[in-house]
Amino acid sequence: MRARGQGFLTLLLAGILAVGGVAFDRLGPKEPAPAPEGSVETGAWLCPHGGGKGYEGTVFLANPGETEVSTRVTGLTAEGVSETSEVDVPPGGQVEVSVPARDRAASTFVETFGGWVAAGWLVRGAGGEPGLGAEPCTPQASRSWFSAGATTGEGETSFLVVMNPFSTDAVLDVAMFATDRAPVRDSDLTDLTLSPRRSVAIRLNDYAQGEEALGVSIAVASGRAAASTLVVSRDRGIESVVATPAPAARIDLLTSTGAGQSSLSVMVPTRVADQGGDAVRAPVGQLGSTFAATLRSADPPQPAGGLSDQAQEPESAAVYPVATAGASAVDLVVRDGAPVVAALRTVGVGKDDGSTGGSATPASSWIVTPTVAGDPSRPGVLVLNPGSGDASVTVVSLPTGGAAEGTAAETTITVPGGSVGAVPGRFLAAAGATSMLLRSDGSPIVALGASTSLGNEGLSLFGLAAGVPIPESQAP
Amino acid sequence: MTRSSAAPPERTPTVLVVLVARDASDWLRGTLAALAAQTYPRMAVLGVDDASIDDSKQILQQALGERRVITFPSRHGRAAAFRAAVDQPAASEADFILLLQDDAALDPDAVQRLVEAAVALPGVDRVGVVGCKVVDRDQPRALLDVGRSADVFGHGYSPLQPGEIDQGQFDRVLEVLSVSTAALLIAREAWKRAGLIDERLDEAHQGLDLCWRVRLAGFRVLMTPLARVRHPAESASAGSAARPRGHGRRYEEDRAAIATTSKNYGILSLLWVVPLSLLLGAVRLLFLALARRFEEAYDLLAAWGWNVSHLGGTWARRRRIQRERRVKDRQLRRFMESATLRLPRWFQSAERILDEQRAIDERDEGASTSRRLRDRTASLVGTHPVVVGSFLAIVIGAVVVRGLFGPEPLVGGVLPAFPSRPDGFWSELVSAYRTTLLGGSLSASPALGALGGLSWLMLGSTRIAQKALLVGAPALAAILAYRAAARLTGRPGASVLAAAAYVASGLTLWSFSDGRLDLLVALAVLPAIFERTEAAFAAEEPSDGRWRFVAGVGVTVAVLVAFLPGAVLAVALLIVVQLVGGSARGRGLALMASSLAVAAILLFPFVPTMVAGGGAALSSHVGTTDLSSLVRLAPGGGPGTWVVALFLPVAAFLSFALVGAEHRAKAVRAAAAAVAGLAMSWLAAAGWLPEPLSNPLAFLAVAATAEVMLVAYGVSSVVTGLGREAFGLRQVLTGMLAVALGGGLVLQTVAALVGGWAVGEPGSDRVPPAWSVVESRARGDFRVLWMGAGRNGSFPAPGGDPQDVAQAGPATVRYGLTDRGGVSALDIGRSSAGPGPDRLAESLEEILSGTTKHGGALLAPFGVRFVVAGDDDLPAATRAVFDAQVDLDPMPAAGLVVYRNAVAMAPAAVLRDDPATLDAVRASDVADIARATVGRGAALTQVEGGWSGGKGSGPVFVSTEFQGSWQLEGSSDPSFTAFAWATGFPTQQAPVAVRYGAQLPATIQAWVLGALWAIALWVTRKPVAR
């Protein structure tokens, strides 16, 4: 009897343990609460714009928000911090900040406090290096950078501008990829130490001369950095392409206004697929990348430069000629293999070409910073609608002094799916050299600034700069 | 035959008997009669009456005549009597003096035999002292003394066992170090050279001192069994006259031992004896203090004190003794025992065991070897479980901890760093403000007092104290688990098994490996609490009375909670279980509630610390939600946390099935406690319990204790009842239990023997090599913010355990703040609560929200120069957020993720002298702090009572919680709240001295606390027989 009682208790205990175990297993740990809404909005932009003797540099800060944003703008050179200034960016407006650009390595570090702003640069050459280079600044440092925008062909000099605005050394390994040659990994560019709060300009011609397509890969072994390529040519002006932190499986490169002749540079930086960036699963043993390029414009889409199924070796860069007319976009899509990095170079009407690294991700809202160097000018803003439905895009100017000044202008354009539209030139001309806020009510879009300025008819200098996508959390 | 030089061979030596009487009328006539019956021809008797209040004087005078009796008007003791006697002309002419106690009855030929031994032994010369064989007056077959030796520290030692029967085993003349003073024959030359009795010593110890000196003077000391004297076993007069009031025998023994060795040893011997004596004294003191034998500890201290205060007299005597020295110390060694005097007792036990084994051998003669071995093992373990268990525990324990006893301080795991000196603990305990981390007014745990005391007892070495606590706590856990189980079951064998299972459990081994001193102490104390809770709710009244019970449990709980505040949850769980299933619920609840109240009183300054921040100190962010690990009682990794750790829960379950009726109710309660402990531990780790109830480790400790008690109940039932039952399921279950326990213990032991502990001497990657990135790259004080994924788990060494969790969806992290040395023992039991920690949490959540890239600026006011995480222990989302911070630079550090704060501030500094800096320091809005660029400043040095130093001039900032009592010496400028929580002062000229101006209340509080503990410990002390 007593034994039976103990047996019952034992079974009861076993039952409790079993039921408890199952119940706990199903219940699982409590989910943590979501991240609290931050009350402190601060940010940073890294602008490795470079420069040269007599160059003028400008950083545009555009504030699409409703509150004033404070910024701290720090100029960096190879010698260290050149100057620091504090600038307030009014709500719904922009500020044009002159930054030092007389050093090849010149770059600018922008810290923002109290809200979100977009930042883009514009450098204008002088003397024997006329031209205009423009690109958006990059919002964060990274441990890897890639650019397909360099070229060291005849009469062209390419610089890799790397900035380290941080307080620790950045130790870099730079590799260069070209067509039909082994990657260039020079000992000078291995374990290259970039001291804190400094930037450096590496003359790529010293390592790979005569390459029409030269891709650059930077691996930051220690610390962080940001980079861009600056190409200087007496005949083809100045071109800036901001580096991207990761290769992508799809890149939209917009262009306009030029002479109708463009070249698409594509770099396959990795031997192995899925190394950062957008993942495209490569078959086992697959090396390199197979991609297609589609030219989008007001006309029906067509293969760009005949690139419908182009294979490219890994650790290589190649240039493909593309004929463009008016507002158009090259939509590069990797079909198989490793993600790629691309740049589109468009021949300008004057002696200044324009380049852009494009955008990998469409977004609903964009800021396009000015790409004109002065009057006369023909400002242009292009909008690609990569989706299938129409996109109604509201364009609002962000005037200097802010919306409170009452000078903000607004217009709306409709961009059919799969095509490229342009913001009316008259609207842009009336708004002046201001940043533009673009909001799409439909499909996500990609925006780019493409302008010419100066010269007799405002066609002398060609500026091509990708827009800055506005994060969802900051969308106006 | 060689004659003694003490007496000329041509004539019969003269003997003067000095009979000292004190209140001896009841037995003095017998003593005198025995003297009168002596056969020795040349003997005279001199009586000394030591101010007797009875008829002793008259008896002496009647027997000896008035002229042969010296009378003292007041008590002077035997030494003075001896001195008075030798001052007599007759004494100085006598060849020998026989010192005779008034209760010593000599056999008729005793004096004859003594003199013969002194002068007539062949080959024996220079005999200075001869003693008798002393037997019990009432039972003459019982031996009381056959000569004595001493250990090297001057403690007398008799070769006799208590009550040893005289079977002729000592019937030969023995050369010894000393003899009994009941009847001691001393040659004239001997006492003239060695001196008289040291009157300062207790009478029970005068003989050893005198004989030692005689030996040093070149004479022999003999015991002749032919001279027999009967003497009461407990002499009425011995040893009590000179004993100061309130002192015990230990006092007299230690006092005499120290004085004797100080006088008699040569300088070279003293050079090693004195330090060793001090060391052993400290160990004894520690043992006595831990055993709450305070009176004995006091006696020991008093003995030392007496010798210090009487150093002058000792020195004077020493000079004379050393002047007369004829032999070297080493020549006396053969008459002395080794320092390990206790060993004989062990050997005697061993002898007894061997005898038993021999008996088994004889019984099993002809049986197979395996059968004989099995029988012998079973007999040994069955009859002497504690001896066997202790022996195995010592041997295994010594091997297990072999790597911990090097000269370096231990590192690794979550072992807290100890301050460099014991007073570091006491300073923190008394301090009115928290000197660690972000300051504030949360009092330190009284555990620091114990740690300081332990360090002091370890010769002032906190390093040794750290090791002693780490090694000693599991041993103490085993002992207390054994005691608790033995009290609950009455079965030593079952209790030994339970204790072994407790120490070998996954939880204990993991705690040891990780260096969790707080949890180890809790694991040591919890079995006692478990047993006391059972006693409180039992049908019978507590055996030690209610008041003593309440005081005892109160002290125990206070110790437990002082080290691990969350353990109060464990106590509460045990009470709840008893309330549901106990017998005397009302009484039990009253007793336990009273005990908790006592504990609260004993912890009164610490109680606010425990409840601060909504009871943050009660919670822990270390635990596991993995059911397999939970059942194994292994919340982390390390030796002994593998699958074999399941042996304890399996054994507990089987034990529950096997438990007999006598333990059934207790077993049900233990099972309930085990299940509830496991469940609560899981719920706490999973985040389902409110913060103050979330302490997975405390609940897991309850489960471990309860499971161990189940094992004790089960094994106890098996041992008592199994043999009477027919073979069946119980026998099968018993076999399974044996396999589970035996196999588990063996394999856990193997794991402990071969496994590498997380703690140990520096090296072997106990601290991640990448930590040097942090240590080497920064000078001065700074703080480290540690982070890791999820809610639970400790940080890489020396980060310790998390202090809180910052919830941020997929970026959720647990975090903790430490100084540059890692987690500190000064923060044992103390949570992080208050404006500083609150603001830190707010800042961290701001960073994790992803809206800021200036996390370094937000962390700067907390003195955070590095943010560190384990390499695989940071959520991708968190890492992305921190990678994006422009003022937190990622550092190359294999094995760790390290960010260096580019805008770090010193924890205390004189800052740049400009309005912007002052505005920034005064800022309270997080957004303003994020954009501030204050700079590191000229660092201040933390000193006793505050901070000092600095250079230049500017606002003064101290990252300690703002309190109005912070003052700047030499300045009337009031402090202000810096960064909304810290302390700042307007611009000052360095050097500055920041001091806390309200120390007195805390000092008084500390004294009151000390007094309360003294009272509580005194009330619950172990009574000592006087």
What distance in Å separates residue A358's CA from the closest CA in chain B?
22
Which residues in chain A show pLDDT less than 70? Answer: 1-4, 257-260, 271-287, 403-408
Task: Specify the higher pLDDT residue, B23 or B162.
Answer: B23
What was the pLDDT predicted at A414? 92
CA distances from B579 to B575, B591, B678 (A): 6, 12, 19
End-to-end CA distance of chain B: 49
Question: Which of B:669-708 have CB within 8 Å of A?
Answer: 671, 675, 678-679, 682, 685-688
User: What is the helix (H) or strand (E) element at residue B723, kind and residue range?
Assistant: none
Q: Give φ, ψ of A329 to 5 degrees.
A: -145, 140
Residues of A in contact with B791 (CB under 8 A): 29, 32
End-to-end CA distance of chain A: 79
Closest CA relative to residue B816, chosen from B790, B782, B847, B788: B788
What was the pLDDT predicted at B364? 64
Mutation target vs B (from A10, A11, A40; most B CBs, 10 A cutoff): A40
Cα separation, B416 vs B1005, whole angstroms: 26
Q: Which of A38-42, A95-99, B703-707, B1021-1025 has the lowest mean pLDDT?
A: B1021-1025
Read off the tokens for B194. 């060695």
DSSP 8-state secondary structure symbol assigned to residue B861: G
Residue B329 has pLDDT above 80, yes or no: yes
What was the pLDDT predicted at A285? 39
Mutation target vs B (from A42, A117, A222; most B CBs, 10 A cutoff): A42
Any A CB within 8 A of B581 CB: no
Any B CB within 8 A of A111 CB: yes
Any B CB within 8 A of A113 CB: yes
* Contact flag B679-A473 (C-beta cutoff 8 Å): no
What distance in Å separates residue B653's CA from the closest CA in chain A?
8
What was the pLDDT predicted at A280? 42
Any A CB within 8 A of B119 CB: no
pLDDT (mean) for B171-176: 90
Residues of B in contact with A25 (CB under 8 A): 627
Confidence band of B210 (pLDDT split at 50, 70, 90): very high
Cα separation, A96 vs A61, whole angstroms: 6
Any B CB within 8 A of A4 CB: no
CA distances from B741 to A22, A344, B723, B748 (A): 27, 75, 19, 10
What was the pLDDT predicted at B514? 94
Is residue B562 a contact partner of residue B445, using CB atoms and an 8 Å limit? yes
Q: Give φ, ψ of B1023 to 5 degrees.
A: -65, 140
Residue B540 has pLDDT above 60, yes or no: yes
Nearest to B852 among A13, A36, A41 (CB): A41
What was the pLDDT predicted at A95? 94
pLDDT per residue as tens digits for the range B214-226? 999 999 999 999 9
Closest CA in chain B for residue A71: B931
Tokens 């040891």, residue? B512
What was the pLDDT predicted at A404? 64
Residues of A in contact with B807 (CB under 8 A): 32-36
* Contact flag A30-B852 (C-beta cutoff 8 Å): no
Cα separation, B11 vs B702, whole angstroms: 83
* Contact flag A32-B685 (C-beta cutoff 8 Å): no
Read off the tokens for B45. 């008797």
Task: Specify the higher pLDDT residue, B426 or B367.
Answer: B426
Residues of A in contact with B853 (CB under 8 A): 42-44, 111, 140
CB pairs under 8 A between A and B: 142
Question: Which of B:603-632 have CB within 8 Å of A?
Answer: 625, 627
What distance in Å separates residue A86's CA from the closest CA in chain B?
11
* Contact flag A35-B849 (C-beta cutoff 8 Å): yes
Nearest to A42 among B678, B679, B852 (CB): B852
Residues of B in contact with A33 (CB under 8 A): 807-809, 812
The radius of gyration of chain B's CA atoms, rounded to the nearest angstrom, is 36
Q: B463: helix, coil or strand? A: helix
Q: Which of A316-330, B231-245, B395-409 has the lowest mean pLDDT?
A: B231-245
* Half-sphere exposure in the Cβ direction for B267 (13 Å, CA): 2
- 3-state SS record for B205-234: HHHHHHHHHHHHCCCEEEEEEEEEEEECCC
Residues of B in contact with A5 (CB under 8 A): 664
Cα separation, A440 vs A436, whole angstroms: 13
Q: What is the mean pLDDT of chain B?
A: 88
Read off the tokens for A47. 């602008």
Nearest to B668 among A9, A43, A473 (CB): A9
* Contact flag A223-B890 (C-beta cutoff 8 Å): yes
Confidence band of B416 (pLDDT split at 50, 70, 90): very high
Any B CB within 8 A of A84 CB: no
What was the pLDDT predicted at A272? 53
Any B CB within 8 A of A85 CB: no
Q: Is the dihedral of CA B270, B276, B277, B279 positive or negative?
A: positive
CA distances from B456 to B232, B444, B450, B465, B1006 (A): 43, 19, 10, 8, 18
* Contact flag A40-B854 (C-beta cutoff 8 Å): yes
Could you tell me what percentage of chain B is helix, strand and coil, using 3-state DSSP and rounding each to the nearest 5? 50, 15, 35
Read off the tokens for A110. 């922008």
What distance in Å separates residue B611's CA from the closest CA in chain A?
24
Question: Which of B:762-821 have CB within 8 Å of A?
Answer: 791, 805, 807-809, 811-812
Q: A93: helix, coil or strand? A: strand
Closest CA relative to residue B352, chosen from B382, B373, B380, B371: B380
Residue B344 has pLDDT above 70, yes or no: no
Task: Specify the higher pLDDT residue, B289 or B478.
Answer: B478
Q: State the alpha helices, DSSP H only, in B120-166.
A: none
Q: State the alpha helices, DSSP H only, in B544-663.
A: 546-563, 567-581, 585-602, 607-615, 627-631, 647-658
Any A CB within 8 A of B532 CB: no
CA distances from B300 to A59, A306, B1018 (A): 82, 101, 17
* Half-sphere exposure in the Cβ direction for B554 (13 Å, CA): 28
Express as a percent the part of chain B with pLDDT over 70. 93
- Contacts for B267-275: CB closer than 8 Å, 24+ residues apart: B268/B329, B269/B329, B273/B152, B273/B153
* Contact flag B853-A43 (C-beta cutoff 8 Å): yes
What was the pLDDT predicted at B242? 45
* Total length of chain B: 1026
Residues of A in contact with B685 (CB under 8 A): 29
Helices B294-309 and B249-264: angle between axes, nearest 10 degrees: 30
Cα separation, B129 vs B112, whole angstroms: 14
pLDDT per residue as tens digits for the range B90-116? 777 889 999 999 999 999 999 999 999
- Look up residue B151 and give its amino acid: D
Strands A261-268, A341-346: pairing kind: antiparallel
CA distances from B137 to A84, A474, B29, B31 (A): 104, 104, 14, 11
Residues of A in contact with B878 (CB under 8 A): none
Is residue B105 a contact partner of residue B230, using CB atoms and an 8 Å limit? yes
Question: Which of A:64-83 have CB within 8 Å of B?
Answer: 70, 72
Q: Give φ, ψ of A373 to 5 degrees.
A: -100, -5
pLDDT per residue as tens digits for the range B622-680? 999 999 999 999 999 889 999 999 999 999 999 999 998 889 999 999 999 999 999 99
Nearest to B846 among A5, A38, A166 (CB): A38
Residues of B in contact with A74 (CB under 8 A): none
CA distances from A221 to A216, A225, B871, B873 (A): 16, 10, 16, 21
Residues of A in contact with B852 (CB under 8 A): 38, 40-43
Cα separation, B210 vs B193, whole angstroms: 11
What was the pLDDT predicted at B236? 38
Confidence band of B776 (pLDDT split at 50, 70, 90): confident
Residue B3 has pLDDT above 60, yes or no: no
